[in-house]
Structure 1
Amino acid sequence: MSRRDRTERAGRARTLYLGTLFLPLALQNFLLTYNSTAMNVALSAILDDLGTTLTGVQAAISLYSLVVAAFLITGSKLGARHGHRRVFVLGAEVFVLGTLLTAFGPNLAYMLVGWSLVQGIGVALMLPALLSLITREFTGADRTRALSALGTVGGIGAAVGPLLGGVFTHYVSWRASFLMGTVITTVVVLALRRTPGPGPDPAASKGPR
């Protein structure tokens, strides 16, 4: 095999790897932005189902945002120390646990723990790792396009959230949004596990800082 053939084959393999890495990350980003807006249209259904107050549900929503903000720096440091892919998968697994607790929880306490706390921590672990994986693996114009596409997917998720969340709430249940999160995040984790990186994560090789 000539050097040119080897170069072309390596280029095709690299393109395939980047595509199989980007798609699950973009899908997860869509879900995270969807979650940030979908529940706003389900407040009445949540109140009736859980037998709680509007103040309680609004507190759960606010606490979720606070937990995400509070743990973002920690998530970033963990990714730099242990590897962004590993921390992303860990965050996704924590997120799945939170979606299940919320989806099957009988009262507000389960929502506070499952959604506000557990899901919030999962998101704080995933977000820095997601962005770091994109910026590490993509270079030049490819990085610009990947980040732009990621932002577009996130915007679509935020815009679709009230519409799709309203459909789920009206025709199925507000809990369906969290079960959808379980399914999508599980698929993303399985996809990432089947897509090994081209080499060791340089962030993980630096050791503790």
Structure 2
Amino acid sequence: MKDIERFISGFRRFRENYFGPEATHFEHLKKGQNPKTMLIGCADSRVDPAILTNCAPGDIFTVRNVANLVPPFEEDGGRHGVSAALEFAVCHLEVEHIIVLGHSGCGGINALMAGTSGCGGDGFISRWMSIAAPARERVLAELSDKDPLLQRRAAEQAAILLSLENLRSFPWIDERVASGVLSLHGWYFDISEGELLEYRPERGVFEPIT
């Protein structure tokens, strides 16, 4: 119950800051949202996009899932939560940027590399992480003789690049990127160093932003 009590106290502070007598931030947000950036991040409790970027409510349209993955474009009649969010952000909110934010020590990537799942068997985690199977295969092929920790870090970054590729498989994303009205970004948060890296396609590497 201590966590719940702390969360409720936190909401009281949030309400005082944003809905108090001198607060004006939510006046225009009450009418709707108009973020220019979408961020696809990991569900990991240590990697909160709004906290990492010091954003205010309404600044970023966020989707979080295990290992910050973007599935490829599919029209199979399935229930595609990430794809639906992408469609809303791109076609309705008309965002100008999509950021895929990965991080070090990702549990989903660790499970992918170890070949394990959550509750045993062919469960939700293993099926979801199969999206990143090409990243795993690439890392094991190119870094077969390297330390497992280095392999996992490489896989975390390779999964970001794979998600960026999958974004281009959505026709309404690809055409907007091609026309220059939408930009895609790959970011990697190094938890141990407190450092944010961005993928530089012209150099083919992740380099520190800060």
Give the TM-score of the pair, scaled to structure 2: 0.23
Name whichever structure is richer in strand by fraction.
2
User: Which structure would you say has the larger RCO, counting Cα contacts within 8 Å and 6 or more residues apart?
Assistant: 1
Give the TM-score of the pair, scaled to structure 1: 0.23
Name whichever structure is richer in helix by fraction.
1
